[in-house]
Structure 1
Amino acid sequence: MRRITEVIRQHYEHLSPSERRVAGFIIDHLDDLATYNSVELSRQCDTSKATISRLFRRLGYSSFKEAREELRRLRQSGVPMPGPGLQAGGSLIERHFASESQHLQRVMQLAQTPLLAQVTERLADAQRVAVIGFRNSYPVALHLRQQLMQIRPAVQLLPQPGQTLAEELADLTDRDLVVLMAFHRRPAGFKTLLKTLLDRNIPVLLLCEQDSGLVTLKPTWMLELPLNSVSAFDSYALPMSLVSLISNLLLHYQLDHGRARIEQINQLYEQTGELDLNLNVL
């Protein structure tokens, strides 16, 4: 897929002054550009619609609409798309935290549905829980595994470093649960993996970005989370918040068992001396 910034750089020297003004605006507002139409873009750049149309034809697009759709596809796939540092709406820092606050409302909405209750019950009842996360999803998967193993036994993080998945999946059954982290820019074999798990009747909880298009694969449970931020890089605050919520829900669902396991782990820390549990300050 072409990158519009690369195309602009290739043609920039041959653009007219008005076209250069539009090109500069595009580069500075990539993250916002997908929300504009040609009239709004011409107004922002103080130029005519004809100039906008001429520029995009020169850049190899049939229209501004085609370029806008390309930007939307890139952003949805997780390609970093830098936005402006400052806008009339406030500083980048202010806008960042406003966006994060809006995203957290999504977790609150999920908490009001039966879905999380179903997931919690399955996490408690599953014989084994396998957590799988690739690329940017891996830290979220690692954190979920670390939290769950303090509450229940038989929690795995797959695949192990340097290993493949087939031998790990061979023993999974319909009594187990796979938590599959599948955020932006998934590896090529991801859909095949999910289909294989479902064909083997292994329950799957799929965590992915909003509007992922993965609902057609029909995972057992699916949680779609907004990752978009005010600038180039996705925010994983919401997935991490959801991991904390799911872990706490599981702990309170089986509180006596969870407390007993946490206490057992703490006793082992003391016996092995792995952690410095002395809270006295010298």
Structure 2
Amino acid sequence: MSLQRRIENSWQGLSPSERKIAVLLEQNQHIVVSHSVAEIATMAGVSKATVSRFFRSLGYDDHMAARLEMRSSRESGVPVQLTSITPPEALQEEWQNLVQAHKDFDHQESALADAILAAENIYILGFRNGYPAARHLRQQLVQLRPGVSLLPAAGQTLAEDMVDISSRDLVILMGFRRRIKSFKPLIQGLNRQLDQQQLVLLTDPTGSGYGQWVGTTVICPLGAQQPMDNYSVVFSLISRLVNTVAERAGSLKRIQQIKTLYEELDELDL
């Protein structure tokens, strides 16, 4: 249960002093993690004993239990602000994540690009926050080769399409934290249906456990200091991958054909 929900459920039973703390924390939830009991007491204008009693009133054992719950929630993808972070600090964290992710991708890039070019068909699956990344990857690859599909189709189920995936195909899954409940059964089902090397997973560190069912796991850190996840690593690695595929594909014939169709259909403002 979130801190906000605990406060709402306990509000009627809180003392006037405890309500001062509640108002403070509702507006600045990150101080539960970043500040001590004494600091919270000073900010709210109450005693340390009142702060300790407040957290027990919400159902926590103590302040530390509340702090650990909030950290755990953020690591699972819940949009909770843990610290007060400046834009330069956020940019530094993003840069560090980008550098580490690209370093880790160095030994995966070549084989993955070759697999994309060699596959008869490519199926890209994405759900929730993974869907925009899956759609973007499909839009990039379809300019370089035929047979690239995005699943699931709007308003449709997966089974009708999964049955057609063969041993000559490649499946790329996007599964980031706060995944749908059916993600695990889906990836296990694909593992039973296909050779493990046909499965590629782009995920954040919390999804590394799914690596046991796929041939390649690409880890994309999403950040933890800000309340909302940062997908810059995901899209940066996609850009790197598709450009490598483009270089190895060699021929620009397909791109030129698409360009000609753009002009004939007058689809783009070129």
Q: Which amino acid aligns with 2:235?
A: M
Kindly indicate whether residue 184 of structure 2 is the aligned counterpart of residue 196 of structure 1: no
Counterpart residue number, 1:228: 223
- Cα deviation for residue 248 of structure 1 reads 0.6
In structure 2, what is the Cα distance between the partners aligned to 1:249 and 1:21?
57
Q: Which amino acid aligns with 2:92?
A: A
Q: Which amino acid aligns with 1:264?
A: Q
Work out whether residues 138 and 181 of structure 1, in 8 Å CA contact, stay in contact via their aligned partners in 2: yes
Kindly indicate whether residue 94 of structure 2 is the aligned counterpart of residue 95 of structure 1: no
CA offsets 1:1-30 (integer angstroms, 9 cap, x no match): x11122123434654576556545544443
Kindly indicate whether residue 114 of structure 2 is the aligned counterpart of residue 121 of structure 1: yes
Counterpart residue number, 2:103: 109
**Paired residue for 1:237, among 207, 232, 245?**
232
Counterpart secondary structure, 2:130 = helix
Work out whether residues 131 and 180 of structure 1, in 8 Å CA contact, stay in contact via their aligned partners in 2: yes
**Paired residue for 2:175, among 182, 207, 216?**
182
* Percent of aligned pairs sharing the same letter: 36
When the two chains are superposed, the root-mean-square deviation of aligned CA atoms in Å is: 2.6
In structure 1, what is the Cα distance between the partners aligned to 2:20 and 2:212?
44
In structure 2, what is the Cα distance between the partners aligned to 1:24 and 1:99?
30
Counterpart residue number, 2:5: 6
In structure 2, what is the Cα distance between the partners aligned to 1:243 and 1:180?
13
- Cα deviation for residue 62 of structure 1 reads 2.3
CA offsets 1:24-69 (integer angstroms, 9 cap, x no match): 55444434645x5xxx512432567755543322211223343233
Work out whether residues 31 and 232 of structure 1, in 8 Å CA contact, stay in contact via their aligned partners in 2: no
Counterpart secondary structure, 1:211 = helix
- What are the within-5 Å matches in structure 2 for residues 105-184 of structure 1? 105-111=99-105, 113-184=106-177
Residue-pair matches, total: 264
Kindly indicate whether residue 245 of structure 2 is the aligned counterpart of residue 250 of structure 1: yes
Quickly say closer, same or farther: Cα 1:276–1:121, change in 2 above 3 A: same
Work out whether residues 123 and 172 of structure 2, in 8 Å CA contact, stay in contact via their aligned partners in 1: yes
CA offsets 1:201-220 (integer angstroms, 9 cap, x no match): 24211111223353464321
Quickly say closer, same or farther: Cα 1:213–1:172, change in 2 above 3 A: same
In structure 2, what is the Cα distance between the partners aligned to 1:173 and 1:30?
49
CA offsets 1:220-260 (integer angstroms, 9 cap, x no match): 11112121354322122221112111111111122x23x22
Unaligned segments of structure 2, at least 5 residues: none
TM-score, normalised by the number of residues in structure 2: 0.85
In structure 2, what is the Cα distance between the partners aligned to 1:94 and 1:21?
32
Unaligned segments of structure 1, at least 5 residues: 278-282
Quickly say closer, same or farther: Cα 1:51–1:215, change in 2 above 3 A: farther
Counterpart secondary structure, 1:153 = coil
Work out whether residues 110 and 116 of structure 1, in 8 Å CA contact, stay in contact via their aligned partners in 2: no
Work out whether residues 29 and 83 of structure 1, in 8 Å CA contact, stay in contact via their aligned partners in 2: no
